[in-house]
Amino acid sequence: MKLWATNEVRAKSKFWYVRCALMVAPWFYDCCFGLRMACGLCARRYFLRKLKKVKKSNGQVLAINEIFERNPTTIKNYGIWLRYQSRTGYHNMYKEYRDTTLNGAVEQMYNEMASRHRVRSPCIQIIKTATVHFKLCKRDNTKQFHNSKITFPLVSRKIRPPTRKLKTTFKASRPNLFM
């Protein structure tokens, strides 16, 4: 079962109390436990004790491993399916983000949900995450960066001295930043 938690202790407690759908927080942990539970069972939204005859007192978490990104230097498109509780009820949502790691995309999602929808992190349940091919992206916010010839303006450019010897702290004239 995969879930997000800030540290190992919270990951263990979420493992028992969370629904078997994926749960949330900025770091990505993979919980291995004594029962060989199939991944198909994890997709269902039931508590663990309804799936297998396990209580918190009987079961034991064998290992908690943080999952790292294989290629943390290349940028990828991530799709996040989530469910959150607002003041009026529960809502399902799909979000797309561009980031180098899945943890970074989840962090962006938390910040955006907090700013746009005023949703705290305990109210968010991450149902599924996936890398999305650039042809399958839906949101215009991620599509605008798929152009290979995209350029950004250099807003303030300063002429630097050719060597450190010619560098001075104070100049007689102001620098010309518009070139």
- 97 vs 41, more confident: 97
pLDDT of 136 higher than 90 = yes
- The percentage of the chain sitting over the pLDDT mark of 70, rounded to a whole number, equals 71
- pLDDT bin (cut points 50, 70, 90) of residue 115 is very high
For range 150-161, the mean pLDDT: 83
The string of pLDDT tens digits covering residues 13-43 is: 666 654 333 333 334 444 444 333 333 333 3
pLDDT of 84 higher than 80 = yes
For range 101-120, the mean pLDDT: 93
Residue-range domain boundaries for the chain: 2-66
How many CB atoms lie under 10 A from the CB of residue 9?
10
Average pLDDT, the chain: 77
For range 30-59, the mean pLDDT: 50
